[in-house]
Structures are given as C-alpha cells and as structure tokens.
Chain A
Amino acid sequence: MTDSTDSRPLPPSGEDRYAWQEAVTGFGAEGQKRLRDATVLVSRVGGVGGTAAIYLAAAGIGRLILAHAGPLRLDDLNRQILMNTPGLGQSRADVATATLASLNPDVAVEAVPENISPENALRLVRRCDLVVSAAPLFSERLAMNAAAVASGTPLVDAAMYDMEARLFVRETASDPCLACLYPADPPEWNRRFPVLGAVSGTIGSLAALAAIQVLADMPRAAAGRLTHLDLSTLSQQHVIIQRRDTCPVCGKPPLSD
C-alpha cells in the first residue's frame, strides 16, 4: 500500500536529531523506525493540519503528502504556521513543502495542490499508512473518511471552532467512522469560523501525537471516541461514539488488496 521502507540503519543516538525523543515512554528506536517507514496524508495544511504536519516532520515521519489547493492569503497567517509572509500569493502546498523541507530534509514531502474530493481521495489515501483529516469543509472530511474506510487506513480527524476543539481517531474496522458521527454534509456548518492560532495549533499538535502513537504503536487512548476540549476552561470530555451497523460508509466491508 505504501512506498518501500527505508533499509538504512538509524544513526546512533547522540548524533541524531531524534536523540531526545527515543527515550519517550513507549517510543524507542523501534518507534522511530516505524515513523521513518510511514507515509501520512494531511488535508489540508492550514491551522490544524499544518501544525500536525510540522510535528510529524519534526518527529521524523518518512513521507508526508500535503493536499491543499489555492494561494496563500494574508488572513491565513494568524494560524497557518507552515506559511510565511514572503509566500503570500504562492501555492499553499508549495510554501508548506518548503517550510517542512527546511525543518527536516530527511522527510520526503509531496505537495498536492488539490483539496480532497471523491475523485482523488482513494488514489491518495491508498498510498498512506495513516491520514490526518483537517479540512474546513465536511465534504472533504467525509471524502477522506470514505477512502480511509474503503482502504482500511487509520484516520485522525481534528477540528476546532472558536475556543473548542475535537479529536476523533479511527484505527480499525471495528471502530466507528466519521460518517457514524456525521452521516451527511451538514448544511448548518458555517465555513467561516472564529480561530486563534493557539487553538488550531493545540488540536493540530494532538492530531500529530495521535498519528505518532498509532504509527509507532505506542500506548494510546482508545479509538472511536470523540474528545472534546473547551480551551476557555481547559476542560475535556470523551464521548463514546457507537459504530452504526447501518452506516453507509463503514457498514460495508473494506476493499481487499
């Protein structure tokens, strides 16, 4: 399903940019290798997805595929930390790629100047070990979800609004999918949302962490729960989402390889 693994040995600790993270509980050299061998698709790379991408790159993910259409705008810059002022007017995907390459040239970064759609989702998702879903439109999130379910790819869905944020992880076919939570594109969602970079960055960081935990097989919270954060009070709640047998997406068996 993904690109070939890298057979090079990891550099010895102490000479390695990852020396401080190999001692993280449950991570180790094996976790580092798993990250290096992994490919992650991130859609899009705005406030949430961009933060997820930068921490995945910093941690040493092997390959990142970044899906985001359109040119960079000034009002993106309060939160989109992969972007910069000199990049205004340029392709967001290209600016993001350059930022990540500067941080960690060991990561293979592929820019896809398209937003996720039913037409491209399966083709892109099939190349990945995990996808991070962070687009501001449900049409894109649900297209990513459908492709992830069809291909059996783990999905980390991260979203925010104002001072609140949510995280949802689907790892296996027994977990609910995003369509169990959002059965259809909800017309009541307002595309223009209030956002502080520190809030989108918070959930983007948690999305990166969730992705790393899955890919490196670290101890982690159970999948299939919606974690809701209220950052105005620093409170959280975990809501168990029941998988719906009648879900039009995950109620069907995944594609066979």
Chain B
Amino acid sequence: MEIEVELTGQLRTAAGRAELVVPVEPGATLRGLLDQLAAATPALAPHLFAGDRRLQPSLLVVVNGTAVAAAADGEARLLKAGDRVGLMPPVAGG
C-alpha cells in the first residue's frame, strides 16, 4: 500500500521535496515508515530520531490531520492505505 507523506520545515529542505509517496507493506507501523524514510534519505534521520533512536521529542507527527503523540503507542500505530502523514519538525525562525 502507499502512504502519502508531507514534509515541512527542515525535513523539506533535507529531502529537497515537500511530498513523498512511500510504498509500505500491509501492517506497517508509523515507526516503520519513519525508519524507511531515514534509510532511503539519510539526511532526514537527525530530524526524525535522537541519538538513541527514539523519535525526536519535538517532532510533531500528524496522521490524517490529527497529531499523534511521539510515544511508543504512537509509533506503533498501524498505517492504512490512503493515510496521509505529516512530519513537522520544530520551527523557530523569527
């Protein structure tokens, strides 16, 4: 199945694009999607994961318009075909 991923902020700069369509296996989790993204585009990794491979605490993950807590249960969320995942790293430009 395919998951639409919207990148914002420094993730968009690192990837060089605003949107991706990512093929994933049925039963894929949110964490699995992020691991896949980081593996395909290593420049995304520091914005997605802290040094201990936990999700960056200030990364806002939005699934179908709703924020998902960056906790273990959020990462374990199962993705469905047609899900749209927004990745919003911290922004402080002033």
Please state if A240 and B67 are interface contacts (CB–CB under 8 Å): yes
Q: How many residues of A contact B (CB 8 A)?
A: 39
Q: Which residues of A contact B62 (CB under 8 A)?
A: 237, 239
Interface-central residue, B12, B18, B86, B93, by most chain A CB under 10 Å = B93
0/1 interface trace, chain B 80-94, chain A, CB 8 Å (1 if under): 000000101111111
- Give CA–CA (A48, B94) in the complex, Å: 5
Q: Which residues of A contact B12 (CB under 8 A)?
A: 162, 164
Q: Which residues of B contact A232 (CB under 8 A)?
A: 18
Q: Which residues of B contact A239 (CB under 8 A)?
A: 60, 62, 65-67, 86, 88
Query: What distance in Å separates the Cβ of A198 from its nearest Cβ neighbour in chain B?
Result: 13
Please state if B94 and A138 are interface contacts (CB–CB under 8 Å): no
A177 within 8 A of B: no
Total A-B contacts with CB atoms under 8 angstroms apart? 94
Q: Which residues of A contact B91 (CB under 8 A)?
A: 159-161, 164, 166, 189
Q: Which of A162, A194, A195, A237 contacts B86 (CB 8 A)?
A: A237
Please state if B10 and A188 are interface contacts (CB–CB under 8 Å): yes
Q: Which residues of A contact B57 (CB under 8 A)?
A: 182-184, 186
0/1 interface trace, chain A 155-198, chain B, CB 8 Å (1 if under): 00011111010100000000000000111101011100111000
- Give CA–CA (A138, B56) in the complex, Å: 15
- Give CA–CA (A118, B69) in the complex, Å: 27
Query: What distance in Å separates the Cβ of A247 from its nearest Cβ neighbour in chain B?
Result: 12
**Which residues in A have some Cβ–Cβ distance to B below 8 Å?**
44, 46-49, 134-138, 141, 158-162, 164, 166, 181-184, 186, 188-190, 193-195, 200, 226, 228, 230, 232, 237, 239-242
